[in-house]
Every structure is written in C-alpha cells, then in structure tokens.
Structure 1
Amino acid sequence: MRRLLPVIVPALVVGTVSALVLLGVSRLAEELQAVLWGTLPDALSIGRYSTFWMIAVLTTSGLVVGLLIRAVPGHAGPDPATTGLVDPPLAPGVVPGLLLVTVLTLAGGISLGPENPITAANVALAYWLGRRFAPGTPAALWVPLAAAGTIGALFGTPVAAALILSETLASRGQPGALWDRLFGPLAAGTAGALTTTLLAHPSFDLPLPAYTHPHWSDLLPSAVIAVAGALLGLMAVYAFPYVHRAFRALKRPVLALTLAGLLLGLLGALGGPLTLFRGLDEVKELAADPSGWSAGQFAVMAVVKTAALLIAATCGFRGGRIFPAVFAGVALGLCAHALVPSVPTVLAVTCAVLGMLLAVTRQAWLSLFTAAVLVGDAAVLPILCIASLPAWLLVTGRPQMQLHEDGTPLK
C-alpha cells in the first residue's frame, strides 16, 4: 500500500492534463474544420462538400502539413507508419509541431483519429515534466500514466485504458501483480475520463435497434461478419508496407503528402463526405438511418474508408487508426444487414467493427470493448466473444499495421 499511495496524486494530475490537451486539440480542430468546410466555401459560393472543394481542401491540407512537417523542430515526430499507440517518449521540443500538424490533419478531413499523436504528446509532456519536477520518481512511471489518461479521455471511461494497458504489460512480461501495475494508470484513466465527461459529454452509443437476447441462429452470421471485417482490415494491413514504400520512393515528404491529399480527395468524391474525417461523428449519421443507403453504397463507403485510412497512415500524416477503422466496420456491418435483413443490425455492426479492429490494431480487448461500447448493450457480449474466435484465428500471426524502421512489417 505504501508503494501505491504516492502514485495517486501524480496519476490524477497527469490524467486530468492529458484530457485537457485532448479537448484543446479537438476544439481547435473543430473550429478550423468549421471554417474550412463551412465559412470559406459559403463565402466563395462553393458547395461545402462538392467534388471540387473536397479535392481542393484535402490536397491543400497535404501540402500544408508536408511543409509544416519539414519546418517544425523534430519534423513532428518519427514516421507514423513505424509507431504504435504507446511508444517511448519523444523530445519535448517535438510536441508543439506534432500538435499543430494534428489539428490540421483532423480539420482537413484526413481519415485519421487523434489517438496516436495526442498520446505521444501527452507521454512526452508527462515524462519531461515528471522527471523535471519529481526527479526521484521512477522514469517508467510517467509513460503508462499519460497513456492511460489519454485513452480514458478518448473513450470516456477508464476501462478502455485498463484493457489496453493490461495487454501491453502482459506482452512485456513485467514482474508484479497486474492490478498493482494498473493501479496508477487506472487512476489516471479515471481522471482523464471524468474530465472529458464533465467538460465535453462524449457519447459513443449508436442509435441502433436494441438487441434483446442471443439466439442460436445469430452465431453463424456473427462469425461470418466478424471474419469479413477481419479480411477487409487484413487487405489494408498487407498493402501497408507496399503503399508506404511507394510514398517513400518519392523522396520528398511534401510531394508525398500533397499527392496523398489529392488521392484522399478523389476517394472522398467517390465515397461521399461521410468517408472524410476521423469518422466518429460520421458513423452516428450512418447508424441513424440504416435504410438510407443501399448495400452497394455501404460497401463502397467501407472500402473507400479503408483505402483512405491506408493512404493517410502510410504517407506521413500524423493520426490514429482506431476511429477510421470503426467507420469502415460500421459501414460493412450495415452492408451485411442490408444484404441479409434477418441479421440484427446491432450484431452486424458490432461484429464487423470487431473483426476490422482485430486486424488493424491487433488489440483483442480494445476491439471487444469498442464494439460493445458502440451499442451500450451487454446482451451482445456473448455473441461478440464467440465471433472474435474465428476472427482472431485469422489475424493472429499475420503482419501488423506497423513497420520497422527498415519498412518491414511487425509481426
């Protein structure tokens, strides 16, 4: 107990500050997004989401982000294709440039979420400030606290942080009881989640019909849809090193990002405006009217979003992959429901998201948690757990959506 009690105050402070950084970046991105996609096209009498405007904004976003990455100290961090959700601390001088690039990426409609760069920034700040003002504390304390605070703030619950870090700690084989090692991160995650909840009131629940209770007839379609989601995600995973190599072959990051912005604009024109941005707000619009699109349209959106995620994650844009993968999974699930209406909408959506996230993140707890929290219904958990088994057998041992420095994929 004497070893754990001193961790509480630093954990609460780090968790709260991590949430404030996330909220600040998100608010700035929202304000800039309103200008780029509302005020400016209205002033120019151009359709907000016309083909021309989508291509123009995304291409320009790529150019500006490329110029900033070339100019800011530390080039806004390492190649994002080689980084994960929780990595060693960056130098503090890299953080301002990384946050600026993240704001522009989120506002410009790029298909990436805020989780990776915000976690990296919070880890860097917590590590630097912690070592500066509390030099007697273990250096290893600050990374999990900042990561948990950010993840808790992102999902609005400390459970997500505990699940993700439990997998990370288990994979590293660190000694000691698991809950002792999770004590500080759980406090930080709680502080981050409460701060976000009190200030921003986030909600992940999708407006889908309730799922009453499991049926034997739900087992097979759920497993098939989860496997389909995993296959869609694996297509992006296997293409990841090749697309990354193609962008690196240009040898000019500004050119690579500008070209990627153009490609993302063309994909946006093909898939529609809902396939832009990180996907969290857009996925709620999809789920609000499952009959508003055909199975073919849902399929196009799922494929376009996956392709947009692949391009954005390999060309150098700073951002995370969880929320765009969720959008692709939801679109795929709604496509499955449109093709086979007898499959409950909730099951089709959650199982597709589960399979997609298993392939893209290779985090089983995160995938299960995210799929379940989208509907806020515990009745889907037994089916999700069963559906995860064939999907996990498909993805385990496969390459990951992350590269070594030499461009080869992690396994």
Structure 2
Amino acid sequence: MTAPADRTPAGAERSLRDTLLSPGYLRLLLLCVLLGVPIALACFFFVGLQHQLEHWVWTSLPETAGYGSPPWWWPLPALVLAGLVLAPVVTRMPGAGGHLPVDGLGGAPVGPGALPGAVLAALATLPLGVVLGPEAPLMAVGSGLALLAVRRAAGVDGRARAVVATAGSTAAISTILGGPVVAAVLLIEGAGLAGARMVALLLPCLLASAAGALVFTGFGQWTGLEIGALALPDVPPGANPDAGDFLWGVPTAALIAVGVALARRLGRRTVSWTRHRTAVRTVACATAVGVCLSAYALITGRSPAEAALSGQATLAMLAAHPHAWSVGALVALVACKGLAWAIALGSLRGGPVFPAVLLGTATAMACSGLPGFGAAPALALGISAASAAVTGLPLASAVLAVLLVGRDAYDQMPLIVTASVVAFVVTQLVRRAPKTEAETEPEAAGPDPGAGTGTAAAR
C-alpha cells in the first residue's frame, strides 16, 4: 500500500512550505517578534525588582541591624511573613498564585486574569527566602502578556493563541537561561513534536526568544542592574574525564535523581495536606521552610542565605570556590535545603529548577573528594543530572549544563550526557514505585502534557 501524498517526504515538505509562506503564519511570526520586546522588558523589571528586594532583605537590612551577615534566626520571621502574604493570594485571587512547583514547568498557560496573582505571589515571597526559582513566574508573565495582547485581536483563532502563549513563555524563560538555545530545546523536547509541527511551532518561539533576549541583555548593560540569568562566571579548571570520573559519576547521578524524586514525592504529599485549611497550612509550610534554613545556619555556622532563595548565587560561589565548603557543610546544605525545597514544592509558589540544580551540584561536589573524581566533572554532571531529574528532559538538561560550564564543556560532554540519561532513567524507575492515593491524585489532576508552554513534560 502506498502512503498518501501528504505523508511522503515531498508531500510533507510541500505542506510545510505552504504553512511557512501563508500570510497568516507570516503575520504570526511578526506578532511573536513584536511581543518578544515588551515581554522581555516586563521580565527585566520583574527580575530587577526581585533582585533588589532580595538584596534589601538579605544584605542591607541585616547590616542596618548591626549584623555582618544574616544571623541564624533571620529566615524564621522572613518565611513566616512570606506565608502570611501568600495565604490570601492562594485562597482568594484568581489562579491561586500560579502553578504548583511540584508540577514542573508544564501546564496550561497562565491567562491575563491569573497573572496579577502569579506576579504578586512571586515578588512578595521569593525575595523573603522561599527556596524556589523565578522561572515559573517568568513563564507566567510571558504567557499572560502574550494572551492579553491577542485577546481582542481579530483573526487570531484558538490554535494561534496557543502558539502565541507558548512563544511568550519561551521568550520569558530564555531571558534567564542565557538566550534562546536552551529554551528552544526545552520546547522541542517537552512538546514531543516532530517534523512540520515542530518547525511551525519552533520558529515563532525562536524569534520571540531572540528578540526578548536581545532587549533583556541590552537593558541589563544600560541600567547596570543584575538581570538574574543563570550563569557561572568562574568554574573549576577543566580536565578530561577519566575512568574514575565515570566510576563515581554514574552512581552520583543516580543518587541525585533519587534525591530529587523523593523530594517531589514529599511535595505531592504536601499538596494533599494543604488542600484543606489552605491558608493556615500554607503559613505552616512556609514556617517549616524557615526552620530548615535556620537549621542549616546552626549546623554549619554559615550564613542562612546560602540555603535560602533560588540558589543561583550559591551555585556561582560553589562553582568558583568548590573547596570553600567542607563535605559536612555540603551534606547539611543538601539535607536542609532539600527538605525545605520539598515542602515548598507542594505549598508555595515559584520555579522548581534552579534550587534542584544547586542541590544536584552540591551533592556532586560533596562526592568529588572520592579518589579519581574531579571537581570540574562533578560540577558538570551535578547540573545535568539534577536538571534531567526535575524536568524529565535529558537533552535540554545536557544543553543547559554545556552552556553553564562554558569553554570546558567540550571535554565534559560524554560525562554530561551520561549523567543526564542516568538521572532521567533512575527518576522514571523511582516514579514507577507504588504510590499512595495522596501522591497520585495531584498528578492525575495535573495539566495536560500536550498543552501549555512546550515544557509540559517537566514532571
């Protein structure tokens, strides 16, 4: 039996060409480029304000109070305040403050009606030390503004609105991932598309991301404000991975995956617990996060700020000075921040990826003292394994690790890819374990993997 004409390579190529050259699609491309600019500006001011508030809470205010660094008890009032602010947002505002972090980055786009709650929840709680990242709120900003722009536009059908919302989210998250490359790979892998569908969706997202990243970076240089992109200015000296790095690296990647999977399981239990008496239990969960952060400071004698927030600053310090932490301090960081992150996943609002990357890197660095296991390979595989475990996207995770490690990534690529695949497989094996009703119910009610931002596979 011969295949229909539109299923042959020539037919598929002709269909794609007709789609790309159609007036409606060309208008869609232009619209996505134009939307990338205001979305990038909104993300720039969002991230800039967030960083200014973080600096005020964790640096300026302690110094004003006479402390050189935040004392051990500093996270307790900060996180109680975060819970008190978040509780009415979750219970009373449309959209409940945005997606639950335990659901990953996927789900239906945040519409204009739910956008104020998502922005308020992020700006009011992330600077106070909530151990979550800005990536999910930024994607909400991108999709919400994109849908707002086309809400009254004539000639924009439901399918085009979905593409525009995806392009807005992709443009937003590309601003903190260093450009459109990682965001584009997230889109392709997360959406599970191929052929003409992938190209037709990828082009608007790439153009919106490129335009947005250009504006975002330009404003950062012009204003001098921190733009909050995930970056590692300094990394350990590079070295070719050898047998020892693989010997210790593979079980380390598996250990990271198990830790992330167990934390997410606890996060799903927290979702069930906070479903009733949500306001009170949200405050209780935020307080528990503060207790974990204070415990880290008491155990190690170090600043609680290292365990608080998204982990971007601590990740950069750990990469630049890997030997400034003892093994005990790294273990305490993984234990205390990991427990705080697990609680926050099911009760607070923010992104799950950045803290997971720090936890994976800290775990790998704690193991880097093993014979034949270097700091540079540990850094690379920690980023890749943790990202793959939390997002479920091994290719995008490997690309993220390569971009973060920088010029030394070429030598580390075999280990980066191996760690990403091992972490992904181990995560799937852990998830196959029998689940309780409390764990399965939130997942069953979760967003459709085929909808949303193109990263819905991040579960």
How far apart, CA to CA, are the structure 1 residues paired with 2:404 and 2:279? 37
- State the one-letter code of the partner of 2:121: V
More displaced, 344-353 or 8-17?
8-17
User: 1:134 Cα shift?
Assistant: 4.6
How far apart, CA to CA, are the structure 1 residues paired with 2:443 and 2:167? 30
- State the one-letter code of the partner of 1:283: L
**1:275 paired to 2:302:** no
* Pairing partner for 1:333 from 355, 364, 368: 364
- State the one-letter code of the partner of 1:323: F
**1:296 paired to 2:318:** no
Seen in structure 2, the aligned counterparts of structure 1 residues 205 and 63 have a Cα distance that, compared at 3 Å, is same
- State the one-letter code of the partner of 1:179: V
More displaced, 178-187 or 388-397?
388-397
Larger Rg: 2
Q: Any residues of structure 2 matched to 1:240-259 within 5 Å, and which?
A: 240-248=267-275, 251-259=276-284
Seen in structure 2, the aligned counterparts of structure 1 residues 219 and 55 have a Cα distance that, compared at 3 Å, is same
More displaced, 220-229 or 383-392?
383-392
Contact in 2 for aligned 1:247/1:256 (Cα 8 Å): yes
Three-state SS of the structure 1 residue aligned to 2:324 is coil
Seen in structure 2, the aligned counterparts of structure 1 residues 280 and 231 have a Cα distance that, compared at 3 Å, is same
Q: Any residues of structure 2 matched to 1:217-232 within 5 Å, and which?
A: 217-232=244-259
The residue that corresponds to 1:21 in the other structure is: 42
Contact in 2 for aligned 1:208/1:345 (Cα 8 Å): no
**1:321 paired to 2:355:** no
How far apart, CA to CA, are the structure 2 residues paired with 1:174 and 1:375? 29
Stretches of structure 2 lacking an aligned partner (at least 5 in a row): 1-19, 222-228, 298-303, 433-437, 447-458
Seen in structure 2, the aligned counterparts of structure 1 residues 391 and 35 have a Cα distance that, compared at 3 Å, is closer
Q: Any residues of structure 2 matched to 1:93-104 within 5 Å, and which?
A: 93-104=113-124
User: 1:145 Cα shift?
Assistant: 0.8
The residue that corresponds to 2:424 in the other structure is: 392
Contact in 1 for aligned 2:189/2:396 (Cα 8 Å): no
User: 1:62 Cα shift?
Assistant: 1.2
* Pairing partner for 2:134 from 107, 114, 118: 114
Contact in 1 for aligned 2:43/2:141 (Cα 8 Å): no
How far apart, CA to CA, are the structure 1 residues paired with 2:439 and 2:33? 34
Q: TM-score, normalised by structure 2?
A: 0.80
- State the one-letter code of the partner of 1:312: A
How far apart, CA to CA, are the structure 2 residues paired with 1:346 and 1:165? 28
User: 1:373 Cα shift?
Assistant: 2.2
User: 1:349 Cα shift?
Assistant: 1.7
Contact in 2 for aligned 1:237/1:359 (Cα 8 Å): no
- State the one-letter code of the partner of 2:185: L
Q: Give % identity.
A: 26
How far apart, CA to CA, are the structure 2 residues paired with 1:43 and 1:72? 35
Three-state SS of the structure 1 residue aligned to 2:349 is coil
How far apart, CA to CA, are the structure 2 residues paired with 1:53 and 1:85? 30
The residue that corresponds to 1:351 in the other structure is: 381
Contact in 2 for aligned 1:87/1:120 (Cα 8 Å): no
The residue that corresponds to 1:197 in the other structure is: 217
**1:235 paired to 2:257:** no
Three-state SS of the structure 2 residue aligned to 1:52 is coil
- State the one-letter code of the partner of 2:186: I
The residue that corresponds to 1:407 in the other structure is: 442
How far apart, CA to CA, are the structure 2 residues paired with 1:123 and 1:399? 30
The residue that corresponds to 1:69 in the other structure is: 90
- State the one-letter code of the partner of 2:358: F
The residue that corresponds to 2:226 in the other structure is: none
Contact in 2 for aligned 1:16/1:149 (Cα 8 Å): no
**1:363 paired to 2:393:** yes
Contact in 2 for aligned 1:122/1:150 (Cα 8 Å): yes
How far apart, CA to CA, are the structure 2 residues paired with 1:70 and 1:177? 38
The residue that corresponds to 2:57 in the other structure is: 36
How far apart, CA to CA, are the structure 1 residues paired with 2:443 and 2:186? 24
Seen in structure 2, the aligned counterparts of structure 1 residues 153 and 42 have a Cα distance that, compared at 3 Å, is same
* Pairing partner for 1:2 from 11, 14, 21: 21
**1:266 paired to 2:295:** no
User: 1:177 Cα shift?
Assistant: 4.9
User: 1:72 Cα shift?
Assistant: 3.3
Seen in structure 2, the aligned counterparts of structure 1 residues 134 and 187 have a Cα distance that, compared at 3 Å, is farther
How far apart, CA to CA, are the structure 2 residues paired with 1:134 and 1:342? 63
How far apart, CA to CA, are the structure 2 residues paired with 1:319 and 1:232? 20
- State the one-letter code of the partner of 1:286: L
How far apart, CA to CA, are the structure 2 residues paired with 1:89 and 1:212? 42
User: 1:226 Cα shift?
Assistant: 1.3
User: 1:199 Cα shift?
Assistant: 2.3
Please tell me the root mean square deviation across aligned C-alpha atoms, in Å.
2.6
Question: 1:5-63 CA distances to partner (integer Å, 9 max, x unpaired)?
Answer: 33332122222222222221112222222332334344444665212222111111111
The residue that corresponds to 1:183 in the other structure is: 203
Contact in 2 for aligned 1:226/1:353 (Cα 8 Å): no
How far apart, CA to CA, are the structure 2 residues paired with 1:343 and 1:303? 22
Seen in structure 2, the aligned counterparts of structure 1 residues 88 and 177 have a Cα distance that, compared at 3 Å, is closer
The residue that corresponds to 1:51 in the other structure is: 72
Three-state SS of the structure 1 residue aligned to 2:175 is helix
Seen in structure 2, the aligned counterparts of structure 1 residues 182 and 383 have a Cα distance that, compared at 3 Å, is same
User: 1:175 Cα shift?
Assistant: 6.8
The residue that corresponds to 2:110 in the other structure is: 90
Contact in 2 for aligned 1:156/1:196 (Cα 8 Å): no
User: 1:324 Cα shift?
Assistant: 0.4
* Pairing partner for 2:178 from 152, 156, 159: 156
How far apart, CA to CA, are the structure 1 residues paired with 2:230 and 2:389? 25
- State the one-letter code of the partner of 1:328: L
Seen in structure 2, the aligned counterparts of structure 1 residues 88 and 243 have a Cα distance that, compared at 3 Å, is closer
- State the one-letter code of the partner of 2:316: K
Seen in structure 2, the aligned counterparts of structure 1 residues 31 and 217 have a Cα distance that, compared at 3 Å, is closer
- State the one-letter code of the partner of 2:172: T
Count how many residue pairs are aligned between Structure 1 and Structure 2: 402
